[in-house]
Structure 1
């Protein structure tokens, strides 16, 4: 199981997501460009003292990330407010990559089209979306629960 952040804009959200990935022993992919100067020092300033323990993969752009994941035959599960499948109804596999879009804009249509599945986290009506780091934590916990992938 991996998580991936598409062109994240807020260092604090990246730091929180990387901390979650480190705590659960999953890889984290950052698909650049970022909306801030990406460095371990910037993440530490954002309060992410787990950066050295996280397995971080940086991809210079979407095409490089997509080529990487296709070469490893990993399914891409996009979390989106436009998702067709509610999270409780989706079945994960251990090799899935959970993808989360940019805070202000999500992902463009070509990324939606590349996804093997689109999943939404159900919430009350009249709310636009959850924070991306919160969404990543919720989704990862459910995916690991289903696949029995929690660390011992």
Structure 2
């Protein structure tokens, strides 16, 4: 199972969107405090729609608490940052890797990034934009990791609502 790790997320709508993506992909969500919102906030639930109760989520008091409770993350975690040398699509993700994203206003602290330089990844961007939205970034990297692992057990074909497809592909 893939894992998304949010370090001190600040915006409930981003966390709600990421939670919904986690439910849709059978991905575990890890939230590292302090959070910039309460877990019962309407904005969080609204962004996650009616999926929040289906979410596999764990909450940690701080980064050290997360590491202690998830020793398997060591060496199997990737850190999303605009400062990385590697592009997110240049690494090979295991089916149980951890993808960490920092808080919206500051990202992952540099002390953590320096300790994990080989596992830092970035999403290429054009021009002078500072960064992408957190929930968009999480979805981009998560879906690359899922693609590399064959979208294991995910629905790959769907039916139309009212009409039928004309051809068989």
TM-score (norm 1): 0.90
Q: Larger deviation: 69-78 or 23-32? A: 69-78
CA distance in 2, matches of 1:138, 1:20: 11
Give 1:1-152 correspondences, 5 Å limit: 1-39=2-40, 43-71=44-72, 73=74, 75-115=76-116, 117-150=119-152, 151-152=154-155
Q: Distance in 2 between matches of 1:111 and 1:72?
A: 14
Which deviates further from its counterpart, 139-148 or 74-83? 74-83
Q: Distance in 2 between matches of 1:72 and 1:14?
A: 21
* Higher RCO structure (Cα 8 Å, ≥6 apart): 1
User: Could you say if the C-alpha distance between residues 114 and 53 of structure 1 is closer, same or farther in structure 2, counting changes exceeding 3 Å?
Assistant: farther
Instruction: Indicate the larger mover: 66-75 or 82-91.
Output: 66-75
* Residue 123 to residue 67, structure 1, CA distance change in 2 (3 Å): same
Q: How many matched pairs?
A: 152
Indicate the RMSD between aligned Cα atoms, in angstroms.
Answer: 1.9
- When Rg is computed on C-alpha atoms for both structures, the one with the higher figure is 2
**What is the TM-score with the length of structure 2 in the denominator?**
0.82
Of the structure 1 ranges 132-141 and 70-79, higher mean CA displacement relative to structure 2 is found in 70-79
- Counterpart Cα distance in 2 of 1:144 and 1:127: 27
Deviations 1:72-100 (A, max 9, x none): 65611001001110122121111210000
